Structure 1
Amino acid sequence: MTRRVSMIILAIALAGLMGFGAWTVLLKPSDLPPDGFSRGNGRIEADLIDISPRLAGRIAEIRVREGDRVSKGDVLVVMDTAELRAQLARAEAAVESAHAAVGVASAQVDEAEARLALAESEATRTERLASRDITSQANLDIKRTEVSVAEAGLAAAHATLRSRERSVDAEAAARDEIAARIADATLHAEGAGRVLYRLAQPGEIIGAGGNILTLASLEDVYMEFFLPAADAPRVVIGDEARIVADIMPDRAMPAQVMFVSPQAQFTPKQVETLTERENLMFRIRVRVPPELVEARADQVKTGVRGVVWVRLADPDGHLPSWPVGLTPPLIDLPATAGADTP
């Protein structure tokens, strides 16, 4: 009897132990964020910029290679402009010719004004003579007609002058257009970045808009992640955030919440638990401060995965204080903390 009771007690103890183990593994919440905080998985990203010529042409020079860091204003690619420079020389000659034509038209205006002045003077003298019956009325009519002809000639000379001046403007515009094409043939970096791909080589002919280089912009480095509908509305745009990269699990990077999607969507493939997959999620973007990117530009790598921590506002709009281990900039986290635990 005593042995049987002992067996029953042992069985109950084993069942209790197995039940506790199952609850610990399957049911007990583990590694949950503290109250007032939420997190999501994501990866470091940056906007990609394609470097392309506006016009088709031959590549004369590429001054960067894959992996090179570039700054705003750096020359990246130079297209061949021999044909354009010949067109520019012809356009400049046309402008000079148009200026010369303006000079001729201006001289014609001076000549027409002199003819008109002479005709008016002769008409005045003839009118005085006709008033004293010294000359005929027919002669007076002729002088008056000559004045009208001279006036018409002056008007025509002014019209010709205006036409020649507009020709100068047209030729100058054509010259400036060619000069703009030559300027566009030198491709510059519009901001800080790093060369990811070099897709062509000097000597190749590239169509208009054809990609020569692809840059990763270092002016807007960010991470996107997803939060459930219960947490996303409590995230404040403009608030601080923290990024813990997988490659640096003991360090936290400061960031700023830049975007919270106004529309819910199904859980993206990054989220792995079945429970989260059944919920609608909101896309959120946090941006790494540009000054931090600039200071550590050589260490910035797109595609690095990590965890983003954000604060959740309470109903009164108050935000909790950051735990010591998630205080920026880039300080060591507690020895017991990892990428998923502050």
Structure 2
Amino acid sequence: MKKTISIILVATALLLAGVAAYQYISGNGDGLPAGFVQGNGRIEAEEVEIAPTIAGRVEKVLVAEGSLVAPGDVLVEMDTDELSAALDRAKAEVALAHQTKAEAEAVVVQRQSEKHRAAQEFERARSLLASENIPESLFEERETEHQVAEAVLGAAMARVATAESQIAAAEAEVRRIAAQIEDSTLFAPMQGRVLYRLAEPGEVVGSGAPIMTILSLENIYMEVFLPAREAGLLPIGAEARIVLDALPDFAIPATVTFVSPEAQFTPKQVETLSEREQLVFRVRVRIPEDLVAGRIEHVKTGLRGISVIRLDAAAAWPEALERRIPPELFE
């Protein structure tokens, strides 16, 4: 019994110490040593909308809100009956275009034979005219027949080229429709969690209209706002710690990945020193992807807390912020 009471007292003391350290840090930042700065924020993730490339009817929605999805998971299947019929028709047009080309090539062979015969008759008539064995009118007739045969052959060859263009166009249409059918199955582009289902089976949606929204769990971060004096000293890649309201005993390692180039909540033109000190800049602090991946099922966005950023790489972290993320975080 005494041992149980002792364990409870120790656990309570640790909890109170953690809460005290959190309050010490999260109050107004005055408790931080030189070389550190803090800001308030919440855990966020990139939102990705899943939408079809063409309008159509939703056939299946395979995930529910809150579901975890991995890259390549099937999320939505669109109805493809109309596209399948169009694909069959396009394939038939390809076959017809090939048949038309074969017929045109057969005509070319025939016209080549006629041209060859007309050319022989023309040369014979030329020789006979030179020896004055035929009248000039007959020679002119053979010359005209030769010219007509050349023209007819050219037209036949042009029809072959037209048939080849028709084949290319029909095959392109087959590829286009096949791509639309392939795009009618919507996959998860990254690891994430389904935030919203915006359409249900049977509904007709437009091209580009979102069917669901996914929170990307590959980029988990907290955004804070820092004064200009401190943001100006902040390098990209600076080390940080995130302390959540729900887990005040632990500090989550993070890294500064973005500092806004523009100030916010202030006039564009500031002249006095006091106004310049009121400028704040948006700073993004990102949790490492490998840290998130190991606890992906427990990650939740919207958790509020603070982010403490080290401005001076030589400054030692306070003991309260040296604690690393425990294995059971987010459980």
| TM-score, normalized by the shorter chain, greater than 0.5 | yes
Distance 2:87 2:326 in 1: 58
Asked if 1 retains the 8 angstrom alpha-carbon contact of 2:191 and 2:217, the reply is yes
Asked if 1 retains the 8 angstrom alpha-carbon contact of 2:238 and 2:311, the reply is no
3-state DSSP of counterpart to 1:234: coil
Aligned to 2:34: 35
3-state DSSP of counterpart to 1:168: helix
Shift of 1:210: 2.9
Aligned to 1:133: 132
Asked if 2 retains the 8 angstrom alpha-carbon contact of 1:241 and 1:255, the reply is yes
Shift of 1:327: 4.4
**Residue identity matched to 2:34:** D
**Residue identity matched to 1:109:** V
Q: Does 2:231 correspond to 1:236?
A: no
Distance 2:208 2:112 in 1: 55
Aligned to 1:263: 262
Aligned to 2:57: 58
Question: Given the superposition, is the C-alpha separation of residues 329 and 101 from structure 1 closer, same or farther in structure 2, using an over 3 Å criterion?
Answer: farther
Aligned to 1:326: 321
Asked if 2 retains the 8 angstrom alpha-carbon contact of 1:254 and 1:328, the reply is no
Q: Which runs of 4+ in 1 moved over 3 A?
A: 321-329
C-alpha deviations, 1:125-158, integer Å up to 9, x for none? Answer: 2222222222222222211211111111111112
Asked if 2 retains the 8 angstrom alpha-carbon contact of 1:293 and 1:300, the reply is yes
**Higher Cα Rg, which structure:** 1
Unaligned runs of 5+ in 2: 1-27, 267-273
**Residue identity matched to 2:186:** L
Shift of 1:181: 1.8
3-state DSSP of counterpart to 1:303: coil
Q: Does 2:242 correspond to 1:247?
A: no
**Residue identity matched to 1:326:** L
Q: Does 2:182 correspond to 1:183?
A: yes
**Residue identity matched to 2:321:** L
3-state DSSP of counterpart to 2:284: strand
Aligned to 2:85: 86
Distance 1:311 1:226 in 2: 15
Aligned to 1:201: 200
RMSD: 2.3
Shift of 1:92: 0.8
Shift of 1:30: 7.7
C-alpha deviations, 1:44-63, integer Å up to 9, x for none? Answer: 00111122222222211111
Aligned to 2:46: 47
**Residue identity matched to 1:164:** A
**Residue identity matched to 2:55:** A
3-state DSSP of counterpart to 2:232: helix
Unaligned runs of 5+ in 1: 1-28, 268-274, 333-342
Instruction: Report how many aligned residue pairs link the two structures.
Output: 292
Distance 1:138 1:108 in 2: 30
Shift of 1:174: 2.1
Distance 2:78 2:201 in 1: 9
Shift of 1:86: 0.7
Question: Given the superposition, is the C-alpha separation of residues 129 and 197 from structure 1 closer, same or farther in structure 2, using an over 3 Å criterion?
Answer: same
Asked if 2 retains the 8 angstrom alpha-carbon contact of 1:63 and 1:76, the reply is yes
Shift of 1:177: 2.0
- Please give the TM-score of this superposition, normalised by the length of structure 1: 0.79
C-alpha deviations, 1:229-249, integer Å up to 9, x for none? Answer: 221111111222221222222
Shift of 1:124: 1.6
Asked if 2 retains the 8 angstrom alpha-carbon contact of 1:252 and 1:331, the reply is no
Q: Aligned runs of 1:1-342 on 2, under 5 Å?
A: 31-266=30-265, 279-313=278-312, 319-327=314-322, 329-330=324-325
Aligned to 1:271: none
- Please give the TM-score of this superposition, normalised by the length of structure 2: 0.82
Distance 2:314 2:151 in 1: 84
